[in-house]
Structure 1
Amino acid sequence: MRIAVTGSIATDHLMVFPGRFAEQLIKERLERISLSFLADGLEVRRGGVAANISFGLGLLGLHPALVGAAGLDFAEYDAWLRAHGVDTSAVRVSDSLHTARFVCTTDQDQNQIATFYAGAMAEASRIDLAQAVEKPELVLVGADDPEAMLRHTATAHRLGIPVAADPSQQLARLDRDQARRLVDGARWLFTNEYEEALLVERTGWSKADLLGRVGTWVTTLGENGVSLAAQGTPVLRVPAVPTDRIADPTGAGDAFRSGFLAGTAWGWPQEQAARLGCALATTVLESVGTQEYKLTSSDLIARIDGAYGTDAARAAEPRLASVS
């Protein structure tokens, strides 16, 4: 299956605060916050939701097409992605702006405070999906310039290409009409638990209304795994793959999407695809950065075996045997 992944391409600046954000907040002064956190760690990593998802798909052998806008500093990042199985020919490279920046600080409770600078992402709406990628069989519309997200969604629907809607961080910027246009008719809808509630508020549709307008609503639940909901069927819950070696939560949700979409592309049942997604998410949790992890067939199969049993591992093994 040819998958086009649209969305942000960014550089992540990841810092660690050796305390708790909550201890610095004064309840009676939340309307006037002026805080500075002294971080004792800094990592500069490649990121952006579309690039992260594409990277995971590339490691799994799917050769996805990355669709987004990057800056005049993109050359090294471009080479990295291509070396890991990502088709970057549809990336628009700005001749005046820098690649987007994501600056994130994580405290000892794994809470995060982040700021995102769009940079070249502002040019993403100039990309014509129909011209940029030879007709894909699935388009994931990830967080991006809102006009680009709307344009890619409309183009995919017009061409009859299934859409995986993943508005994530951009939900807070969308008005009601935009939010509705992005999710209505999606084959898959991805959110985390907070975004699930925010999407209901933004669209003005109830959960039941939304389920009537999408195929499967996939909600990531952190350490509690993931839920898959579809109209007229019981909610399916898939537990997370456990770990006691969490290094950094950034990018775990993107890795889940990589695994889930790969399983979907291989024709796996959704539960089996979600298990692979959870295995990738835990792999990323154990490393700092969103694209610093490595995948091996033996590790993935062992994770699935340990979390879901021997039968689940055997079912996944033929496809995962080629991962290296």
Structure 2
Amino acid sequence: MTARSVLTFGEPLVAMVPSHPGAYCEGSPLTPYAAGAELNTAVGLVRLGVEAAFAAAVGQDPWGQLLIRQARAEGIDVRWVQESEAPTALLFKQWSGLQQATSVYYYRSTSPMAQGLWDVRPLAREVAAGRYRWVHATGITWMLGAQAREAADDLLDAARTGGSTVSFDVNIRYKLADKPAWRSLVDHVLPRLDWFFLGDEEAMALFGTKAADAVERAARGLGFLGQGVVVKWGAEGAQVSEGGRLTQVPACPVPRVVDTVGAGDGFNAGFIAGLMEGWPIEQAARLGAVVGAYAVTRVGDHTGYPSRAEALAELKGTEGVWR
């Protein structure tokens, strides 16, 4: 593992996904998929040709093995994935109602990371020694419990010591905590970040605006000293504010949206990968938009993420034939 690598950390889950829309009923078939915001970003990165490691704790059960196998199959370094007797976190997804809206039901309160069965001390030493060029996290980890919060803080502190670039996506989950708790978390982590990611609805909830430059000004008033802020607008694209310099990119159109879960994590992967390549901000954001667009075309959080060749072909405006 070299200093070109990215480390992501956070709780992975197995997503149980129905084979057809509608409310659950007896006998409805379900397919398990690897999921979790930080794992999704790691998958997106390696598909784009960036070395990535993933750190977490999973259960010593079939679901934990599924997560490890799938991460390893993607080419992710899983040396920092610990196994525990506690059960792996699960989620169940369904699409229901006239608009076929996505609903997610979590079963994670007894998971290893929720119970504090996650020892990050060996990893923190590696991070502090400068083994990773970039460290990426989301706010979900801090909301799993007091011990997970302490572990996440330790890893961010180690990243600062080791000279890693640090990015953070707030990734609000109101089933974990209420809005004041999320705002308090943002205030807590902002001084440690280089890049701050959030969605447009999260920006409105936390800062009363979805304009990236306004969010950046507010963040800097709270102690943010990093490089910039990224606000993802979904179908409207994204804005990046870097020291007040605003860059806006459009969304990449898709013929049919299947599932939007994982699109934001894919954007993060594309943006990080672009900056790791030394690309300009606009080009990195456009790569993020491409990965996010691919994400919504398939069931599963990261199933649809593109390969590097596919993403670059889309960026160049070529259609390509993939066999």
Smaller-chain TM-score bracket: 0.7 to 0.9
Matched, 1:120 2:112: yes
Query: What's the RMSD between the two structures over aligned residues?
Result: 2.9
Q: Which residue of 1 aligns with 2:233?
A: 221
Within 5 Å, give how 1:212-251 maps onto structure 2.
213=224, 214-233=226-245, 235-251=246-262
Within 5 Å, give how 1:1-324 maps onto structure 2.
1-15=4-18, 18=21, 37-38=23-24, 42-73=30-61, 74-94=64-84, 96-107=85-96, 109=99, 111-118=101-108, 119-122=111-114, 123=116, 126-128=119-121, 129-131=123-125, 133=127, 135-142=131-138, 143-146=140-143, 147=149, 148-170=151-173, 173=177, 174=181, 177-200=184-207, 207=215, 208-211=217-220, 213=224, 214-233=226-245, 235-293=246-304, 295-306=306-317
Once the 2 structures are TM-superposed, how far is the Cα of residue 140 of structure 1 from its aligned partner?
Answer: 0.6
Once the 2 structures are TM-superposed, how far is the Cα of residue 165 of structure 1 from its aligned partner?
Answer: 1.2
> Is the partner of 1:89 in helix, strand or coil?
strand
For 1:62-97, what per-residue CA distance to the aligned partner results, in whole angstroms no more than 9, with x for missing partners?
120101121112223212211211001011211x11
For 1:151-202, what per-residue CA distance to the aligned partner results, in whole angstroms no more than 9, with x for missing partners?
322332343322101121357633654331222241111111111123338x
Once the 2 structures are TM-superposed, how far is the Cα of residue 113 of structure 1 from its aligned partner?
Answer: 2.5
Once the 2 structures are TM-superposed, how far is the Cα of residue 299 of structure 1 from its aligned partner?
Answer: 3.1
1:296 and 1:252, CA in 2 relative to 1: closer, same or farther beyond 3 A?
same
For 1:268-310, what per-residue CA distance to the aligned partner results, in whole angstroms no more than 9, with x for missing partners?
111111111111111111111023236345532342234xxx8
Q: Which residue of 2 aligns with 1:32?
A: none
Residue identity matched to 1:112: T
Runs of 4+ in 1 over 6 A off after TM superposition: none
Once the 2 structures are TM-superposed, how far is the Cα of residue 211 of structure 1 from its aligned partner?
Answer: 4.1
Residue identity matched to 2:119: R
Q: Tell me, which stretches of 5 or more residues in structure 1 are unaligned?
A: 20-36, 314-322
Residue identity matched to 1:86: I
- How far apart, CA to CA, are the structure 2 residues paired with 1:76 and 1:17? 23
1:247 and 1:42, CA in 2 relative to 1: closer, same or farther beyond 3 A?
farther
Equivalent residues of 1:211, 1:230 under 8 A apart? no
Residue identity matched to 1:256: F
> Is the partner of 1:120 in helix, strand or coil?
coil
> Aligned pairs, how many?
287
Residue identity matched to 1:215: Q
Once the 2 structures are TM-superposed, how far is the Cα of residue 238 of structure 1 from its aligned partner?
Answer: 0.5
Residue identity matched to 1:116: Y
For 1:28-71, what per-residue CA distance to the aligned partner results, in whole angstroms no more than 9, with x for missing partners?
xxxxxxxxx44777442110111111111111221201011211
Equivalent residues of 1:125, 1:145 under 8 A apart? no
TM-score with structure 1 setting the length:
0.78
TM-score with structure 2 setting the length:
0.78
Equivalent residues of 1:43, 1:289 under 8 A apart? no
Residue identity matched to 2:241: A
- How far apart, CA to CA, are the structure 1 residues paired with 2:305 and 2:231? 25
1:82 and 1:141, CA in 2 relative to 1: closer, same or farther beyond 3 A?
same
